[in-house]
Chain A
Amino acid sequence: MTLTALRYLGQGAGVTVMLAVAVILLSSALGMGLALVRLYGWPPLRVLAAGYALVTRGVPLLVLLIGCYFSLPYLGITLPVYGAAIVVMGFYFAAYMGEVFRGAIMAVPATQWDAGRSVGFRAFQTFRVVILPQARRLCVAPFLNTALSVVKNTSLVSAIGGWELVMAGREIGERTGDLMPIYLGVAFGYYLICFPLARAATFVERTSHA
């Protein structure tokens, strides 16, 4: 494997990281909103939110990506590949992030609400000062695991023609025909990106089981 090939893969990995970061940010923001709606929102909205979560949990991301991306021209919208991918993946993972945040908030013992109210906090204050900080600690491990999933799923962007690590590998492969080491290199690239996330998640899981 030549140096240029490695550098090319490295660039692909860089794009993968940027895509992942964008998706994580978008899905976290949407997910937090989703969690709050499902926990404290107006009941009809809650039903909608639950339905949204159901759809994203049951339909493969690839199907959503292909479906949305190839539908757009017919609606007269032309979005760049990256933009479409980030939006679709952002909404897809928002459901997962929503579950992470909702689970963390629900995992804070109900007695903490009593504790907050009994010192005089109003409901919103109790949430902000007592519940949220504790939920923040509880959500780190599943958040990292979801982030890991985001990184791995950016590989699907290649299926709708976007250029990232897998696509970089395909291009080199088509040029040199040296497929096994190239794809092993691609896998290794993902391994390098994911490894710190996975280790961090395991570390948090282990230390929070006191």
Chain B
Amino acid sequence: MDLAFLLRILPPLLQGLEITVAMTALALVGAALGGLIVVAGRRSRFAAVRAVTIAYIDAMRNTPIMAQIFILYFGVPEIGLYPDAFACGAIALVLQNSAYAGEIYRAGIESVNRTQTEAALSLGMLPRRALFDIVLPQALRRVLPVLGSQAVVILKDSSIASTISVAELTHSGKLLLDRSAAPYETFFMVALLYLAMAAIVLGAMKLLALRFPVRT
């Protein structure tokens, strides 16, 4: 294990890491918000809205991210739009993980006892108010750990964008490999960087969980 070598490959890898962080952050925000739309659709009063949402969740659950990225990057140009590779990666991540986030939100909401809603309603709150002020705060606290795991999944899935040549961390690693003929060291470094990022994400979630604990 040549330490000098490891330090030499760090700068190009860090450039890739920047792109990974950017794509992951974008996807995290997008999926967190998209999940709200999904859970709203899933719990809608209108059967048609529910059906469409369930079909969407099904489609996202049963197809791999790579297929979605390819459809966006290779397929969409056929209808005249030319999204760039980064956009394709980010959009695919958001689409996939909004479905998962929505289901996580739904599990959280359903785990809050119905009696909480009744108590809020009997104080005169409107159903929407009861949902946002009483149920949702409790639901989100309960699902923080699961959301944390999903965030790490998003981080790891960002590596798949390397297959369409997005210059993120994995892609940078591949380029270095071709050039340096030291795959073991290169990918050891890449793995270490991913672990560091994952640790930061999970640490942030732990901090959130401390700030917003579940109190029963």
Which residues in A have some Cβ–Cβ distance to B below 8 Å?
A: 54-55, 57-64, 66-67, 70-71, 74, 148, 152-153, 155-156, 158-159, 166, 169, 173, 179-184, 186-187, 190-191, 194-195, 198
Q: A67-B191, A180-B78, A183-B74 are in contact. Are A62 and B162 (CB under 8 A)?
A: yes
Q: Name the residue of chain B whose CB is nearest to the CB of A188.
A: B63
Enumerate chain A residues within 8 angstroms of B76, measured Cβ to Cβ: 180
Give chain A's interface secondary structure class: helix
Q: A183-B71, A184-B75, A186-B70 are in contact. Are A62 and B63 (CB under 8 A)?
A: no
B79 x A180 contact (CB < 8 A): yes
* Interface locus among B37-45, B132-140, B152-160: B152-160
Give chain B's interface secondary structure class: helix
B184 x A166 contact (CB < 8 A): no
Between B65, B66, B186, B191, the greatest number of chain A beta carbons within 10 A of the residue's beta carbon is seen for B66
A173 x B74 contact (CB < 8 A): yes
Any A CB within 8 A of the CB of B122: no
Which residues in B have some Cβ–Cβ distance to A below 8 Å?
A: 58-59, 61-68, 70-71, 74-79, 152, 155-160, 162-163, 170, 173-174, 177, 181, 183-184, 186-188, 190-191, 194-195, 198-199
Between A67, A152, A194, A195, the greatest number of chain B beta carbons within 10 A of the residue's beta carbon is seen for A67
Enumerate chain B residues within 8 angstroms of A64, measured Cβ to Cβ: 191
Contact of B67 among A55, A58, A186 (CB under 8 A): A186
Shortest B193–chain A CB gap in Å is 10
Contact of B61 among A54, A70, A166, A198 (CB under 8 A): A198
A190 x B67 contact (CB < 8 A): yes
B75 x A58 contact (CB < 8 A): no
B194 x A195 contact (CB < 8 A): no
Shortest A72–chain B CB gap in Å is 9
Per the bound structure, the CA–CA distance linking A59 and B157 in Å amounts to 10
Per the bound structure, the CA–CA distance linking A62 and B77 in Å amounts to 26
A66 x B184 contact (CB < 8 A): no
Contact of B66 among A156, A181, A182 (CB under 8 A): A156
Shortest A172–chain B CB gap in Å is 12
Pull 19 A–B residue pairs with CB atoms less than 8 Å apart, ordered by A. Answer: A59-B156, A59-B198, A62-B170, A63-B173, A66-B170, A67-B183, A71-B184, A74-B184, A152-B65, A155-B65, A158-B66, A179-B78, A180-B71, A183-B74, A183-B75, A184-B71, A190-B64, A195-B58, A198-B58
Beyond A74-B181, A179-B74, 5 extra complex contacts between A and B, CB < 8 Å: A59-B156, A60-B158, A60-B159, A182-B75, A187-B63
Per the bound structure, the CA–CA distance linking A67 and B199 in Å amounts to 21
Enumerate chain A residues within 8 angstroms of B66, measured Cβ to Cβ: 155-156, 158-159, 166
Per the bound structure, the CA–CA distance linking A184 and B191 in Å amounts to 32
B67 x A183 contact (CB < 8 A): yes
Per the bound structure, the CA–CA distance linking A57 and B148 in Å amounts to 12
Q: A70-B177, A184-B71 are in contact. Are A156 and B160 (CB under 8 A)?
A: yes
B187 x A195 contact (CB < 8 A): no
Q: Name the residue of chain B whose CB is nearest to the CB of A170.
A: B70
